[in-house]
């Protein structure tokens, strides 16, 4: 959580290797300021320091998300859009760096990322004019993606999906509850639309061109007519696509270097699984889908946010 790092923290949910356990504490999560924080990787003291000392600049850009909502994709898009005049697609650092790594040596605007909920962001961010882009995703796909990821990172091939699912429904997962996380950013995007953009993974898949243009405009890096005519938007979309990023050598063989727990260093390839919308159908029973739908209906009943 150091200031001026491009990642306020990495995208790794926490589970202890021995835990075939099904409660948050056994999986290394701590309840802090209303959310479940993977405190064995990100001590809550570092969050307090961040809240106290982080100084946001007006042209900072913050990519915010829950793990498995499409963080890697959004980071790649934001970085490429913002730096498209400094690099070509063949020499942009994403060819040799995973999007989740520290890209802070790049000149302003700085691009940061965080999984922290809006309520836990430093006041300087909330007071500044910086841009926050939030990405969310249908929670059914998030649960399934999270389950695969945790099993891979922690070498827990036998961790039951049911345990992961039940914890998710109780809100007990990294940076959960999911609904409170999304609601915080949703409410602020309604209140301060020029500072907070609320994006959805499914919409980005469905209409990549419109959503990428929307993102670029929000970031104050709009595409010119000339760029649109010459296909720059589509080139960026193709470069940041699942198929392109996953096949880069760095993402096939690289590992995250900044892990606090040395035995739990995620390979970059774990951030690229299937990249599909609706994969949950292959994993969750109709009863499970109904159960989580009901939880969401109840939790979001007083809000205009729907999933
Ligand atoms: P799946 O596990 O469903 O495939 P995060 O980056 O927040 O950890 O999210 C990871 C999810 O986003 C994974 O979903 C991963 O495959 C998918 N993903 C990663 N890069 C992507 C890209 N460029 N386009 C679309 N999806 C991507």
In tens, the pLDDT along 89-116 reads 999 889 888 887 665 566 678 899 999 9
Q: pTM for the complete prediction?
A: 0.92
- Domain residue spans in the chain? 30-299
The residue contributing the CA closest to ligand 1 atom 24 is: 242
- pLDDT interval class at 299 (50, 70, 90): very high
Mean pLDDT of 3-12: 38
Is residue 62 within 8 A of residue 125, CB to CB? The reply is yes
- Residue 7 pLDDT > 50, yes or no? no
Write down the CATH superfamily of domain 30-299: P-loop containing nucleotide triphosphate hydrolases (3.40.50.300)
pLDDT of 96 reads 87
pLDDT of 104 reads 58
* Of 95-104, 132-141, 190-199, 220-229, the least confident: 95-104
Pocket of ligand 1 (CB under 6 A): 11, 65, 67-73, 141, 145, 148, 240-242, 245, 271-275, 279
- Residue 19 pLDDT > 80, yes or no? no
For residues 104 and 37, give the distance between their C-alpha atoms in angstroms, rounded to a whole number. 24
- pLDDT interval class at 15 (50, 70, 90): very low
> Which residues, 6 or more positions from 212, have their beta carbon under 8 angstroms from its beta carbon?
77, 81, 204, 233, 236, 237
The residue contributing the CA closest to ligand 1 atom 12 is: 70
User: Highest mean pLDDT range out of 31-40, 178-187, 252-261?
Assistant: 178-187
Structure tokens at 249: 């050598």
CA 167 to ligand 1 centroid distance, Å: 21
- pLDDT interval class at 20 (50, 70, 90): very low
pLDDT of 3 reads 33
- Residue 17 pLDDT > 90, yes or no? no
pLDDT of 13 reads 41
> Would you call 115 a catalytic residue per the annotation?
yes
- Residue 244 pLDDT > 70, yes or no? yes
- Residue 40 pLDDT > 70, yes or no? yes
């Amino acid at each position: 959580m150091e200031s001026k790092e491009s990642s306020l923290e990495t995208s790794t949910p926490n589970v202890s290797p021995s835990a075939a356990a099904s409660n948050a504490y056994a999986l290394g999560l701590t309840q802090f300021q209303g959310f479940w924080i993977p405190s064995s990787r990100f001590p809550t003291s570092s969050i307090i320091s961040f809240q106290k000392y982080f100084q946001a600049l007006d042209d900072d850009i913050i990519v915010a998300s829950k793990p498995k909502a499409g963080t890697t994709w959004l980071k790649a898009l934001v970085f490429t859009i913002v730096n498209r005049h400094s690099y070509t697609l063949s020499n942009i650092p994403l060819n040799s760096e995973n999007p989740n790594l520290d890209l802070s040596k790049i000149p302003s605007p700085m691009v940061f990322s965080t999984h922290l909920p809006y309520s836990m962001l430093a006041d300087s961010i909330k007071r500044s004019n910086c841009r926050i882009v939030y990405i969310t995703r249908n929670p059914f796909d998030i649960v399934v993606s999270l389950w695969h990821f945790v099993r891979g990172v922690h070498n827990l091939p036998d961790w039951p999906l049911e345990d992961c699912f039940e914890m998710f429904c109780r809100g007990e997962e990294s940076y959960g509850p999911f609904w409170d996380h999304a609601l915080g950013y949703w409410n602020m995007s309604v209140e301060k639309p020029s500072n907070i953009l609320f994006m959805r993974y499914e919409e980005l898949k469905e209409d990549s061109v419109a959503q990428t243009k929307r993102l670029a405009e929000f970031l104050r890096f709009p595409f010119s007519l000339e760029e649109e005519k010459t296909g720059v938007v589509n080139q960026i979309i193709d470069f940041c696509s699942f198929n392109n990023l996953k096949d880069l050598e760095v993402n096939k063989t690289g590992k995250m270097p900044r892990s606090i727990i040395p035995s739990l260093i995620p390979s970059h390839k774990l951030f690229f699984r299937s990249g599909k919308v609706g994969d949950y159908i292959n994993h969750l029973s109709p009863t499970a889908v109904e159960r989580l739908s009901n939880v969401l209906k109840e939790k979001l009943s007083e809000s205009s946010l729907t999933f």
